Amino acid sequence: MDMQRLLGSVLLAFLLTSGTAAVARDRQAEPEKPLTDYVDPRIGSEGLGRVFIGPSCPFGMVKPSPDCTPSPNSGWLPMPERVDGFAQVHVSGTGGGPKYGNVLVTPFCGALDRTQHLDYREYENIRLGYYDTRFKQSGIRTEITTAERASFYRFTYPEVADKALAIDAGFFLGESPVPDAREAQQFVGSEIQILSDREVCGYTRIRGGWNNGRAYTVYFYAETDRPFSEWATWKGDSITTDRTQYDSHQKTGALLRFEGDATTLQLKVGISFLSCLRAEANAHSEIPHWSFDEVHRQLLDKWETLFSKIEIDEKAPEAHKRMFYTGLYHTMLMPVDRTGENPLWSDPEPYYDDFYAIWDTYRTSSPLITLIDPKREADIVRSLVNIYKRDGYMPDARSGNCNGRTQGGSNAEIVVADAFVKGLEGIDYELALQAMLKDATVDPGANHEAEGRGGLREYLELGYVPWGTDRAGNRTVEYSYCDYAIALVAKGLGKEELYQHYLKQSGNWKNLWRDDYEHSGARGFIMPRDADGQWLDSLPYGHSRVMQPKYVYTPMTFEGPWYTPWWSMFFYEASSWEYSLSIPHDVSGLIEKCGGPQAFEQRLDTFFIRNYYNVNNEPSFLTPCLYHWLGKPWRSSDRIHTILAESYNDGPVGLPGNDDSGAMSSWLAFHMMGLYPNAGQDYYLINTPLLRTTTLHLANGRDFRIVADGLSEKNRYVQSATLNGEDYPWSALRHKDLMAGGTLVLKMGKKPSEWGREMFKPNH
């Protein structure tokens, strides 16, 4: 090579290197958008979704937000509803009666002569970890962020104003004038004390709510960054200058006034379920400074760490990014980590509350948390098992440190089984099996709404729960699945006799299968049956010898007549059409009962074409995927994508039903990735993703990548698949294969193919 060519080569190499470096510098100068920017807490906030819109840490105990009248479950309602103030503890996405809404703080202007200071919003700015509004009447701006156990407020008052703040220890959601009203929260007591010219403490004690639970106590410690010059306290309707209002079963609160030219006031509110001193410690340890922005940044960092566990196609539409990461966010709001905050017992085990309810979350929320943060999910399961050890039963739902209510099965068993078959570590599975067997063998008697299996004696004697016991239909179906969960754990622990017993018992759903019943061209349904074995076409209600009302029951019956309580229906929140397709542990047996593959496919088509499918509730979560068992996963994908297009979006009404602690959101997230778990079992069904690429950064240090090669609106059918470069013709993926890491490539095309005719790799 001559010198000129050599110099030219060196120069070219230099330019290429410089260009690469320049591109790298440009990329460094323009950092990637953080994943937290894609979260929109407003998605699902209106309509049926009922999600919490205020700031929260992952599984955070404190959730501050506006409370707009005492009625909504999450506290918030869209403008123009009034705002009573900002409470510190809330739930997300729930139905039924409200819970919490405790310790209300309200900035106001004027004299300290009123206990209520209602106002209206000019605007709202709602972002991940941040809430901002301005009141119309007072002109006060309120900004909120939070730590895990202490909230942080920044109030900006008009320059010419008497700056004041109310702290209401008596406020709560779901108050009813009817004593002991079902599902209503009931006031028990409160207390408040002025500690200094910057500090106030107290507590509120409330009982009831959705789970009709015993009293819980929320203690608080509030501290301002500027001294207040005047104060008053109230008890009932009486406002005084006393520093303390002790508990005499009346509502209490404090009014604080601030002098000076400064227009900004900052407030920390520490919360505890143990004591005021613990609330103070939470405030000072979690927020040891007065930097609002620093608290917000730390909150975002916690979420970013979790969101980064799943990376999706960077070229995905912005709406899809918002839907996906908001779905992850909603999934990790509840249950709530109250480790060290349990007033009932003290031990080193994790403690979680607000399982609201496992009937909703076991299907998709628990499996999604397992992929994102398996250590967290293991702690949640340990908490369930420890609640059994201390309280006697694992909950199906729990809130305010109290079990209740059961909606169908004893579904914590499925959560345990899901953890077991996926190899989550740190759980005492022998003790967990004891907890599962307690559910399956000891009737909770009169406490069956709170825990255990109602109608268990009849279930064990007859093989089904007969009509006359509330929710007899879905209890039978769900107990069967819970029995299957017990069988899986028993087998894994080497207890063959237990395994065989509960495997056989898991077929009890067939004892309510009425083979000769026909409806809409389908034959065979789960229908009511009395203790004598007789099928019931009309259901009696009540025990009067004079009036004996009955109503006709069909597979389409969802609600009964006015005289039948919602809670006492044969199926809870579903019809027989839905539950007769909800046998997740024995789909092959279900297909046989329905008359074989052809009849089953026709039945599924009828179910969707005639809109018997209920998108807004959990019993039908798995049903769109049932075409997999017919060797036609492309039909499952078609159904799923139609549901996504018609029922989900990135707007305030973007969720089709109560989010139920992230259930609707986690269902969405899984289907966007193209995987769907059959909870309590060790595999994921493979569907056409909504995203071209998804990368799971697993806790074991490996990555698992899903690539939909050629995916487009037209190319929506899987033609073939490879796993780590090898042909993968099966439509389900074992959890252990996912955890081994690697790449699943789905080659997409315009027409359905033969791919996926078999679900599982042989000898798995």
Contacts of 531 (CB under 8 A, 6+ apart): 458, 462, 466, 468
Please check whether residue 506 is in contact with residue 487, taking contact to mean a CB–CB distance below 8 angstroms: yes
Task: Look at strands 742-749 and 703-709 and give their pairing.
Answer: parallel
Instruction: Note whether 491 and 528 are same-domain residues.
Output: yes
246 or 24: which leads in pLDDT: 246
Instruction: Note whether 538 and 491 are same-domain residues.
Output: yes
Burial classification of residue 649, based on how many CB atoms lie within 10 Å of its CB (0-12 exposed, 13-18 middle, 19 or more buried): middle
- As a whole number, mean pLDDT of residues 458-471 equals 96
User: Can you tell me the distance from the alpha carbon of 394 to that of 439, in angstroms, rounded to the nearest whole number?
Assistant: 8
Phi, psi for 141 (deg, rounded to 5): -95, 135
Say if 757 falls within a structural domain. Answer: no
Contacts of 268 (CB under 8 A, 6+ apart): 150, 151, 152, 153, 222, 223, 283, 287
Total domains in the fold of the chain: 2
Burial classification of residue 593, based on how many CB atoms lie within 10 Å of its CB (0-12 exposed, 13-18 middle, 19 or more buried): buried
Return the pLDDT at 542. 67
Instruction: Note whether 292 and 323 are same-domain residues.
Output: no
Phi, psi for 298 (deg, rounded to 5): -65, -40
Return the pLDDT at 605. 98
Instruction: Note whether 274 and 372 are same-domain residues.
Output: no
Q: Other C-beta atoms within 10 Å of 725: how many?
A: 9
CA atoms within 13 A of residue 559's CA, in its CB half-sphere: 5
Say if 32 falls within a structural domain. Answer: no
N-to-C CA span, the chain: 61
Tokens standing for residue 460? 């064990």
Does residue 69 carry a pLDDT above 90? no
User: Residue 734 pairs with which residues in a beta bridge?
Assistant: 683
Q: Among candidates 268, 265, 266, 238, which has minimal Cα distance to 253?
A: 238
Confidence of residue 10 (pLDDT cuts 50, 70, 90): very low
H or E stretch including 657? none
Q: Which residue has the tokens 């009962």?
A: 593
Say if 574 falls within a structural domain. Answer: yes
Return the pLDDT at 418. 98
Confidence of residue 100 (pLDDT cuts 50, 70, 90): very high
Instruction: Note whether 684 and 721 are same-domain residues.
Output: yes
Say if 448 falls within a structural domain. Answer: yes
Please check whether residue 384 is in contact with residue 415, taking contact to mean a CB–CB distance below 8 angstroms: yes
Q: Which residue has the tokens 């089953």?
A: 600
- What's 141's DSSP letter? E
Instruction: Note whether 184 and 293 are same-domain residues.
Output: yes
Report how far apart, in Å, the C-alpha atoms of 412 and of each of 91, 361, 439, 475, 650 are. Answer: 20, 10, 10, 14, 31
Average pLDDT of the chain, as a whole number: 94
User: Can you tell me the distance from the alpha carbon of 427 to that of 383, in angstroms, rounded to the nearest whole number?
Assistant: 10
Return the pLDDT at 121. 98
CA 722 from centre of chain: 33
Confidence of residue 12 (pLDDT cuts 50, 70, 90): very low
Please check whether residue 91 is in contact with residue 661, taking contact to mean a CB–CB distance below 8 angstroms: yes
- At residue 36, what is the residue type? T
Q: Other C-beta atoms within 10 Å of 376: how many?
A: 19
Phi, psi for 673 (deg, rounded to 5): -75, -25
- As a whole number, mean pLDDT of residues 431-455 equals 96
Q: What is the CA angle 107-59-474, rounded to 5?
A: 115
Report how far apart, in Å, the C-alpha atoms of 533 and of each of 27, 464, 465 are. Answer: 72, 10, 11
Confidence of residue 538 (pLDDT cuts 50, 70, 90): very high
Q: Which residue has the tokens 């067997």?
A: 437
Over the range 109-123, which residues count as b (16 or more CB within 10 Å of their CB) and which as e? Answer: beebeebebebebee
Instruction: Note whether 278 and 337 are same-domain residues.
Output: no
Say if 43 falls within a structural domain. Answer: no
Q: What is the CA angle 58-54-657, rounded to 5?
A: 85
- Read off the pLDDT of residues 638-693 as tens digits, 9 standing for 90 and up: 999 999 999 999 999 999 999 999 999 999 999 999 999 999 999 999 999 999 99
- Read off the pLDDT of residues 113-149 as tens digits, 9 standing for 90 and up: 999 999 999 999 999 999 999 999 999 999 999 999 9
Does residue 709 carry a pLDDT above 80? yes
Please check whether residue 263 is in contact with residue 127, taking contact to mean a CB–CB distance below 8 angstroms: no
User: Can you tell me the distance from the alpha carbon of 328 to that of 255, in angstroms, rounded to the nearest whole number?
Assistant: 39
Q: Comparing 259-263, 426-430, 482-486, which segment has the lowest mean pLDDT?
A: 259-263
CA atoms within 13 A of residue 561's CA, in its CB half-sphere: 11
* pTM listed for this prediction: 0.94
Percentage of the chain exceeding pLDDT 70: 95
Percentage of the chain exceeding pLDDT 90: 89
Q: Which residue has the tokens 């839907």?
A: 323
Alpha-carbon torsion angle 536, 538, 539, 542, nearest 10:
-130
Give me the domain span that covers residue 116.
65-304
Return the pLDDT at 665. 98
Helix axes 496-505, 472-492, angle to 10 degrees: 160
Q: Other C-beta atoms within 10 Å of 532: how many?
A: 7
- As a whole number, mean pLDDT of residues 355-377 equals 97
763 or 251: which leads in pLDDT: 251
Instruction: Note whether 195 and 152 are same-domain residues.
Output: yes
Over the range 439-455, which residues count as b (16 or more CB within 10 Å of their CB) and which as e? Answer: bbeebbeeebbbbbbbb
Return the pLDDT at 431. 98
H or E stretch including 477? helix 472-492
Task: Look at strands 130-135 and 121-127 and give their pairing.
Answer: antiparallel
Domain of 229, CATH number, reads: 2.70.98.10
User: Can you tell me the distance from the alpha carbon of 145 to that of 57, in angstroms, rounded to the nearest whole number?
Assistant: 10
Instruction: Note whether 456 and 562 are same-domain residues.
Output: yes
Q: Among candidates 466, 580, 472, which has minimal Cα distance to 524?
A: 580
Tokens standing for residue 373? 């943060």
Q: Other C-beta atoms within 10 Å of 277: how many?
A: 13
User: Can you tell me the distance from the alpha carbon of 397 to that of 94, in angstroms, rounded to the nearest whole number?
Assistant: 12
Q: Comparing 7-11, 442-446, 624-628, 635-639, which segment has the lowest mean pLDDT?
A: 7-11
Please check whether residue 674 is in contact with residue 312, taking contact to mean a CB–CB distance below 8 angstroms: no
Instruction: Note whether 357 and 444 are same-domain residues.
Output: yes
User: Can you tell me the distance from the alpha carbon of 25 to that of 41, in angstroms, rounded to the nearest whole number?
Assistant: 34
Instruction: Note whether 295 and 400 are same-domain residues.
Output: no
Q: Among candidates 340, 329, 74, 326, which has minimal Cα distance to 210?
A: 74
Please check whether residue 439 is in contact with residue 495, taking contact to mean a CB–CB distance below 8 angstroms: no
Say if 159 falls within a structural domain. Answer: yes
- As a whole number, mean pLDDT of residues 491-518 equals 98
Instruction: Note whether 212 and 252 are same-domain residues.
Output: yes
256, 281, 304: which is the final residue of a domain?
Answer: 304
Q: Among candidates 733, 723, 729, which has minimal Cα distance to 682?
A: 733
Alpha-carbon torsion angle 204, 205, 207, 213, nearest 10:
110
Peptide bond into 111 cis (omega under 30): no
User: Can you tell me the distance from the alpha carbon of 641 to that of 328, in angstroms, rounded to the nearest whole number?
Assistant: 19
Please check whether residue 704 is in contact with residue 744, taking contact to mean a CB–CB distance below 8 angstroms: yes
Return the pLDDT at 27. 39
Domain of 644, CATH number, reads: 3.30.2080.10
Does residue 269 carry a pLDDT above 70? yes
Tokens standing for residue 145? 């962020």
Confidence of residue 710 (pLDDT cuts 50, 70, 90): very high
Q: Comparing 13-27, 559-573, 657-671, which segment has the lowest mean pLDDT?
A: 13-27
Does residue 450 carry a pLDDT above 60? yes
Say if 26 falls within a structural domain. Answer: no
Q: Other C-beta atoms within 10 Å of 276: how many?
A: 19
Please check whether residue 433 is in contact with residue 493, taking contact to mean a CB–CB distance below 8 angstroms: yes
CA atoms within 13 A of residue 242's CA, in its CB half-sphere: 14
User: Can you tell me the distance from the alpha carbon of 674 to that of 519, in angstroms, rounded to the nearest whole number?
Assistant: 33
Return the pLDDT at 562. 79
Say if 37 falls within a structural domain. Answer: no
Confidence of residue 543 (pLDDT cuts 50, 70, 90): low
User: Can you tell me the distance from the alpha carbon of 679 to that of 501, in angstroms, rounded to the nearest whole number?
Assistant: 21
